Structure 1
Amino acid sequence: MELHDIWFAVIAVLWTGYFFLEGFDFGVGVLTRLLARDRGERRVLINTIGPVWDGNEVWLLTAAGGTFAAFPDWYATLFSGFYLPLLAVLVCLIVRGVAFEYRAKRTEDAWQDRWEKALFVTSLLPAFLWGVVFANIVRGVPVDGRKNYAGGLGDLFGPYALLGGLVTLTLFTFHGALFTALKTTGDIRPRARRLAVALGLACAALTALFLAWTQAHSGDVWSLGASVIAVAALLGAVAVDAAGREGWAFALSGAAVAATVAALFLALFPDVMPSSLDPRWSLTAENAASSPYTLRIMTWCAALATPVVMLYQGWTYWVFRKRIGTRHIAENH
């Protein structure tokens, strides 16, 4: 296996880690309006992800940075062609971070309500737009012979891409509902479990349709296997959640996230950005990669740094592992 193939797999793993962690993070943000009944419950939901949300975003920085270093042509075409959707995601992440920090700076209801609404919107939009982006990457976009994106904004919002956006939105919200059930106590916990059942069934149906469409377009036996695992994990998560096994349900929803990302990357390989104009103009893991020397240096750096980052982040989750409820929320001061 060549180094560029290994780094294609590494990029897939980094995106999997990001969607697993930031996925429930986005989901909890969406649930602040779908599940929480009052400000106290919204504060409980926000506090479940308060210690970890910024650490989760490290995976996005690593995935984007790894793509830039390992596949510069892929990075250039992706970020120029998908400029507006990715800019919208970036703005949402900035505003979302500000909402976490500034929501409690003042006690006025109007002030806190505005930031809580901002948190909801800036969780919902990225959850949808990431599905749109990756659906377009897998299906292919107009890339010309000079590796430039030759389409317009409307080309990024076809039926397949919109379905991909709905899949990631429902998948992340389902993942977030299970995380909420796992991390809360009191009345929020059973309501989160009940909502997760409905979200999980809807997500399983949408995911099955989306992955079947993907399989018909560019899938192989490996992507088919990952697709089957993804749908089975979703249905399993719904079943064990209904039985009250929140830990297993969250683990299975995480497995569904990982299997869905794996199915997309397996269907994409060996391309990294197929051209819908001419297959000969497609960007591949080989023709979009950096030099072998660059990839070797990156491999050593990743091998040394990645375990440290994962151990530190795992320790953070261990420290903040306890459940919280409205009784743990102090009055405004």
Structure 2
Amino acid sequence: MELHDVWFVLIAVLWIGYFFLEGFDFGVGILTRLLARDRTERRVLINTIGPVWDGNEVWLITAGGATFAAFPEWYATLFSGFYLPLLVILLCLIVRGVAFEYRAKRPGESWQRNWETAIFWTSLLPAFLWGVVFGNIVRGVKIDRHFEYAGGIGDLLNPYALLGGLVTLALFTFHGTVFTVLKTVGDIRERARGLALVLGVVTAVLASAFLLWTQAAHGDDTSLVALIVAVLALLAALAANRAGRDGRAFALSGLTVVAAVAMLFLTLFPEVMPSLLNADWSLTVTNASSTPYTLKIMTWCAGIATPIILLYQSWTYWVFRKRIGTQHIAPDTAH
């Protein structure tokens, strides 16, 4: 296997890790309006991800940096052609981070309510837009002979990509709901369990339609295996949630995310951005990659840094592993 193939796999792993972690992160943010009944319950939900949300975004930064260094042509075409949706995502992530940090800086009701509203919308929009972005990457876009995007914003709003956006929105919300069941106690936990059943059914319908469409248009035997794993894992997560096996339900919802994203990358390879204008103008792991020397240096750096990051993030999740409920929210921080 060539180094550019290795780095395609590594970038796929980084995106899978990002969507696994930030997926439930976004889902919990959406639940602050979908599940929480009052400000105290919203505080409970925010506290479940408070210690980890910023660490989850490290995966996005790493994935973007790795794409820039390993596949500069892919990075350039992607960020120029998808400028508007990626800019909206970036702005949402900035506002979302500020909202987490500033919400509790003042006790005023309107102050906290406005930041909580910001958390909801800046969780919902990226959850939807990431599906639109990756739907277009898999489907292909208008790339000319110079490997430049030749379409407009309207070309990105096609039925396949919009369905992809609905899938990621539903899947991340379901993933976040299962995470809430795992991390909370009391009435909010029981309501989250019931909501997870409803969201799981909706997600199963949307995801099955999108993944079958993807398989029919771009898939092969390996992507078919990933599709089957994703669907079975989602159904098993629903069963585990109903049976009260919270840890197993979360692991299975995470496996659904992993298998679904893996399927998208499996349908891409060896291309990284197919061209709808001419197949010869598509970006591939070969014509979009950096030099072998650059990839070699990157491999050594990644081999040293990645285990350290994984150990630190695992330690963070272990430290903040306990469940919380409304009884853990002090009166002076609930208002």
Equivalence for 1:52: 52
Q: Percent identity?
A: 73
Task: Report the CA distance between 1:205 and its aligned residue.
Answer: 1.0
**For 1:290 and 1:261, how far apart are their aligned partners in 2?**
24
After superposition, the C-alpha distances for 1:290-319 in whole angstroms (9 at most, x for unaligned) are 000000110111111100000000000000
Equivalence for 1:297: 297
Gap regions ≥5 residues in structure 1: none
Secondary structure (helix, strand or coil) at the match of 1:104 reads helix
Equivalence for 2:235: 235
Task: Report the CA distance between 1:107 and its aligned residue.
Answer: 1.1
Q: Is the counterpart of residue 75 in structure 1 residue 70 in structure 2? A: no
Structure 1 runs of 4+ off > 2 angstroms? Answer: none
Secondary structure (helix, strand or coil) at the match of 2:272 reads strand
Task: Report the CA distance between 1:112 and its aligned residue.
Answer: 0.8
**For 2:200 and 2:308, how far apart are their aligned partners in 1?**
34
Letter in 1 for 2:284: T
**For 2:111 and 2:178, how far apart are their aligned partners in 1?**
29
Letter in 1 for 2:315: W
Equivalence for 1:205: 205
TM-score, normalised relative to structure 2: 0.99
Equivalence for 2:318: 318
After superposition, the C-alpha distances for 1:169-193 in whole angstroms (9 at most, x for unaligned) are 0000000000000000111111111
After superposition, the C-alpha distances for 1:242-273 in whole angstroms (9 at most, x for unaligned) are 01101000000000000001100000111000
Equivalence for 1:133: 133
**For 1:133 and 1:332, how far apart are their aligned partners in 2?**
42
Equivalence for 2:10: 10
Task: Report the CA distance between 1:24 and its aligned residue.
Answer: 0.2
Task: Report the CA distance between 1:4 and its aligned residue.
Answer: 0.5
Gap regions ≥5 residues in structure 2: none
After superposition, the C-alpha distances for 1:146-180 in whole angstroms (9 at most, x for unaligned) are 01000000000100000000000000000000000
Q: How does 1:1-333 map to 2 (within 5 A)?
A: 1-332=1-332
**For 1:294 and 1:26, how far apart are their aligned partners in 2?**
34
**For 1:7 and 1:98, how far apart are their aligned partners in 2?**
33
**For 1:77 and 1:331, how far apart are their aligned partners in 2?**
51
Task: Report the CA distance between 1:332 and its aligned residue.
Answer: 2.5
How many residue pairs get aligned? The number is 333
Secondary structure (helix, strand or coil) at the match of 1:332 reads helix
**For 2:170 and 2:268, how far apart are their aligned partners in 1?**
23
**For 2:321 and 2:178, how far apart are their aligned partners in 1?**
14
